[in-house]
Amino acid sequence: MQTPREPSAVPRTNPAPPRFLKNHPTHECGVFAVFGHPDAAILTYYGLFALQHRGQESAGIVTAKQSDTPFASHKGMGLVAQVFGMGDLERLKGTRAIGHVRYSTTGSSNLKNAQPFVVDTSRGQIAIAHNGNLVNAAQLRVELEAEGSIFQTTVDSEIALHLLAKVPDAGSPLAALRRMEGAFSMVIMGENEIIGVRDPFGFRPLALGRLDGAYVISSETCAFDLIHAEFIREIEPGEVVIIDEHGIRSEWPFRRAKKAFCIFEYVYFARPDSNIDGTNVKEVRVQMGRELARQHPVEADIVVPVPDSGIYAALGYSEELGIPFDLAFVRNHYIGRTFIQPTQLIRDFNVRVKLNLIGEAVRGKRVVVIDDSIVRGTTARTRVVNLREAGAKEVHLRISCPPHKHACFYGIDFPDPEKLLANQMTREQICEYLGADSLGYLDVDAMVRATRREKNGFCMACFTGDYPLPYDAAFDKYVMENRRGKARLLPATQQPSLLPAAPPEAPPNV
């Protein structure tokens, strides 16, 4: 097993990269939890390692021993390997743990906003870790402050803590969560239990597993593989799973909603070795590549992926058309984040430092480049220039999803919609701007077909503009910092409209 490093060099500040550097939609967060294992902290540490792709700004673990001892917590800015040393993990004693890796989608990237959050209430301590975005966060915060809550952070996730903390002794803590609207896959630790919660739309994944008689919960199943846990099942949209000394049970406190899983998890966010809803992510990406080849074939000599997320779609494209696959771009995995100021020269370097081209692989060839998205076009344009400079005869771009035209309000940090290239130009203009010989995007139906799932079970709002849950159009990730207690209440026409209350569905077998 890899040994966690000693904590001496834990960075305490690590600001979010300037938005100009982001040419991809950015990941969100990952959550992990363990109930009933003597090595709960170590398991969570490795679980967070597997989820590191979902957030690299901060990481944290909270553990609990018995119900009458205080929680132990350690959080820091940076990657999991930077935040935790062996000494930190040894201090995190207990058989229960929750953990979090963060990319900030609401609130600044700083230690104060790092999760999990812990509060003391009259009924004991509560800790929480959240993946997603609450669309009514500003409104709820105003209401909670009016009711006397004092917030410590500028993150929407803290709202869930205050909702839970305010429940009267006789009330149901979980019913309090009904006030939240939006995307939330979260894990909660109380004095005696671990709780997994998934919003009724099921925007973000959340899975349940078992290891040596203990239960584990993870944003993605790839974390189960790493710790040799057995996958049991997905936590269903709208389901709350409660694990305590009496066993495991489900409650359904939310009103029912139409399922709206984020399809971009399959395209880009999730790890290829994760399974979602019984479907392997890598297989879906290969299938997207096959669909792309059928929709936008081209005569070419090699198919080249933009690593890492374009690799499997490129394999599918290559297999479908019988064109050789070649890894002509080499990714540098060791650059971390860069924070220097933007000049044109530095922008160019920023693109090149991540991916280097093996010129010999493309010289004199007709090249198909497969990527998972074009957001601003900056990096795609530089890559085309690199390929031409290296002597590529033709450059054809193929994208394994439709054009991104709309913002995400459910936990993904896109650039402002007006900066999305597909909002500014026609496809022909984009192709010309990027300097490519041709450009093809996968269409919505083919993208869905590749998942082998029903179209109406997905959120595809950033492609179609069809939002499954009303949102606050003026939302931005710094709403909690900018608001100064004057958050706008949603106009009546934008009030969330969940489907009518329905009787709880039968809990799936655990």
> Which of 321, 430, 460, 469 forms a contact with ligand SF4 (CB under 6 A)?
460
> Which of 71, 410, 441, 475 forms a contact with ligand SF4 (CB under 6 A)?
410
Are β-strands 275-276 and 240-244 bridged in parallel, bridged antiparallel, or unpaired? Answer: unpaired
Which of these ranges, 122-130, 361-369, 407-415, 441-449, lies near ligand SF4 under the rule CB under 6 A?
Answer: 407-415
Residue 98 to residues 31, 80, 85, 167, 271: CA-CA distances in angstroms?
7, 14, 17, 22, 21
Collapse the DSSP code of 362 into the 3-class scheme (helix H, G, I; strand E, B; otherwise coil) and give the result: helix
Radius of gyration of the chain (CA): 23
Residue 113, Cβ neighbours under 10 Å: how many? 24
Is 29 annotated in the active site? yes
Does 420 contact ligand SF4 by CB under 6 A? Answer: no
Given the complex with ligand SF4, which of 62 and 412 has the nearer CB atom? 412
Which of these ranges, 139-147, 186-194, 291-299, 457-465, lies near ligand SF4 under the rule CB under 6 A?
Answer: 457-465
Does 408 contact ligand SF4 by CB under 6 A? Answer: yes
Does 462 contact ligand SF4 by CB under 6 A? Answer: yes
Does 461 contact ligand SF4 by CB under 6 A? Answer: yes
Nearest to 204 by CA among 262, 252, 250, 281: 262
Given the complex with ligand SF4, which of 68 and 454 has the nearer CB atom? 454
Q: In the bound complex, what is the minimum distance in angstroms from residue 73's beta carbon to ligand SF4?
A: 30
Pattern 243-262, ligand SF4, x by CB under 6 A: -------------------x
Q: In the bound complex, what is the minimum distance in angstroms from residue 452's beta carbon to ligand SF4?
A: 17
> Which of 62, 187, 459, 480 forms a contact with ligand SF4 (CB under 6 A)?
459
Q: Are 347 and 378 in contact (CB under 8 A)?
A: yes
Q: Are 31 and 218 in contact (CB under 8 A)?
A: yes
Q: In the bound complex, what is the minimum distance in angstroms from residue 279's beta carbon to ligand SF4?
A: 16
Q: In the bound complex, what is the minimum distance in angstroms from residue 444's beta carbon to ligand SF4?
A: 11
Given the complex with ligand SF4, which of 29 and 412 has the nearer CB atom? 412
The secondary structure of residue 124, as a DSSP letter, is E
Given the complex with ligand SF4, which of 298 and 459 has the nearer CB atom? 459
Does 450 contact ligand SF4 by CB under 6 A? Answer: no
| Alpha carbon distance 451, 283 (integer Å) | 9
Given the complex with ligand SF4, which of 66 and 423 has the nearer CB atom? 423
Residue 184 corresponds to which amino acid? F
Instruction: Give residues 150-209 in contact with ligand SF4 (rule: CB under 6 A).
Output: 203
Given the structure tokens 């900066």, which residue do they identify? 419
Which of these ranges, 144-152, 307-315, 359-367, 404-412, lies near ligand SF4 under the rule CB under 6 A?
Answer: 404-412
Given the complex with ligand SF4, which of 35 and 201 has the nearer CB atom? 201
> Which of 263, 286, 300, 380 forms a contact with ligand SF4 (CB under 6 A)?
263
Given the complex with ligand SF4, which of 264 and 441 has the nearer CB atom? 264
Nearest to 124 by CA among 187, 74, 191: 191
Token reading at 421: 């290239």
From the number of C-beta atoms within 10 Å of its C-beta (0-12, 13-18, 19+), residue 379 rates as buried
Token reading at 441: 């995007």
> Which of 264, 266, 471, 475 forms a contact with ligand SF4 (CB under 6 A)?
264
| Alpha carbon distance 204, 212 (integer Å) | 27
Residue 109, Cβ neighbours under 10 Å: how many? 20
Q: In the bound complex, what is the minimum distance in angstroms from residue 463's beta carbon to ligand SF4?
A: 7
The phi, psi pair for 327, rounded to 5°, reads -85, 75
Identify any residues that bridge with 102 across adjacent strands, giving them in sequence order: 29, 58
Q: In the bound complex, what is the minimum distance in angstroms from residue 462's beta carbon to ligand SF4?
A: 3
Given the complex with ligand SF4, which of 383 and 406 has the nearer CB atom? 406
Catalytic residue among 29, 222, 262, 408: 29
Does 471 contact ligand SF4 by CB under 6 A? Answer: no
Q: Which residues contact 257 (CB under 8 A, 6 or more apart)?
A: 199, 200, 201, 237, 238, 468, 469, 498, 499
Q: In the bound complex, what is the minimum distance in angstroms from residue 86's beta carbon to ligand SF4?
A: 37
| Alpha carbon distance 443, 483 (integer Å) | 39
Nearest to 216 by CA among 2, 60, 74, 43: 43
Q: In the bound complex, what is the minimum distance in angstroms from residue 408's beta carbon to ligand SF4?
A: 3
| Alpha carbon distance 127, 88 (integer Å) | 18
Given the complex with ligand SF4, which of 240 and 412 has the nearer CB atom? 412
Q: Are 41 and 92 in contact (CB under 8 A)?
A: yes
> Which of 80, 240, 412, 431 forms a contact with ligand SF4 (CB under 6 A)?
412
- Interface with ligand SF4 (CB under 6 A), residue total 11
Does 401 contact ligand SF4 by CB under 6 A? Answer: no
Q: In the bound complex, what is the minimum distance in angstroms from residue 134's beta carbon to ligand SF4?
A: 13
| Alpha carbon distance 259, 257 (integer Å) | 6
Q: Which residues contact 96 (CB under 8 A, 6 or more apart)?
A: 33, 34, 35, 36, 40, 63, 64, 189, 194
For the annotated catalytic residues, the residue numbers are 29
Q: Which residues bind ligand SF4 (CB under 6 A)?
A: 203, 262-264, 408, 410, 412, 459-462
